[in-house]
Amino acid sequence: MSSPEQILLASLTHLMARWSSAGTQAAVAADAGVQVDPVDLPPLYMLGLEGPSRASDLAAALRISRPTATKQLNRLASAGYIERVPDPADRRASIVRLSPRGIEVHARLVDQGVVMVSAALTGWSSAESAAFAAQLARFVSALGASDPEREPAPGPARSATGSQNGE
């Protein structure tokens, strides 16, 4: 018999594999009427969820290399979904944020994601859905607190955004 932890781990593994697959992301984008390479969606989602960020901080949050993030951000900028603005804390650096078009595209992607989640919750009561959402949010928060890759707290050698090199 599997423990609840083993069942949860297996379920999370399947969920992440399905949700993050290029095929699923391409289908979400297509259903939302968004033309974007599926590999470029994570930074778009993250900027929509978390707001403006330095490219280096975005790369760290997505667990990708800075060169990979730069390539993705360049493609998103070419598509008109993001814009770079000077970082008021460091004139050598820039902040990446969703453009007005990017905000609209992010909203359409989220709406399509809600359609998918709603379909998966068919047959669940409102109370079950609400309880699951609250428990999942609590679980994700607890995972973040014990994440070995999370950024250390800012110290003397780090800026307020956690970056060391002004990227």
pLDDT band at 147 (very low <50, low <70, confident <90, very high): low
| High-pLDDT (> 90) share of the chain, % | 79
- pLDDT score at 156: 35
- Going by the DSSP 8-state scheme, the letter that residue 84 receives in this structure is E
Q: Is 44 exposed, middle or buried (0-12, 13-18, 19+ CB in 10 A)?
A: buried
Q: Map residue 131 onto helix, strand or coil.
A: helix
For residue 58, what pLDDT is reported?
Answer: 96
Tens of pLDDT, residues 115-132? 999 999 999 999 999 999
Give the single-character DSSP code of 26: H
d(CA 48, CA 102) in angstroms, rounded, equals: 8
pLDDT band at 148 (very low <50, low <70, confident <90, very high): low
Query: Tens of pLDDT along 24-38?
Result: 999 999 999 999 999
Share in percent of the chain as helix, strand, coil (round to 5): 60, 10, 30
The pLDDT value recorded for residue 120 is 95
Give the tokens for residue 125.
């009561």
Q: What is the mean pLDDT of residues 68-83?
A: 97
